Amino acid sequence: MSGSEDTRLEAIEQARTRLRRAGERLTAALTRLEGRSGLASVLGGENAALRAENARLAESLAAVRREYEALTKVTETVSARLDGTITRLKGAVDG
Q: Which residues make Cβ contacts (< 8 Å) with residue 1, sequence separation at least 6?
A: 9
Q: What is the pTM of this model?
A: 0.50
31 pLDDT band (50/70/90 cuts)? confident
- Read off the pLDDT of each residue in 43-59 and give the average, rounded to a whole number: 89
- Read off the pLDDT of each residue in 11-35 and give the average, rounded to a whole number: 87
Query: Who wins on pLDDT, 69 or 30?
Result: 69
Dist. CA 21–CA 23, nearest whole Å: 5
Helix (H, G, I), strand (E, B) or coil at 2: coil
Given a cut of 90, is residue 30 above it in pLDDT?
A: no
pLDDT value at residue 56: 92
Given a cut of 90, is residue 8 above it in pLDDT?
A: no
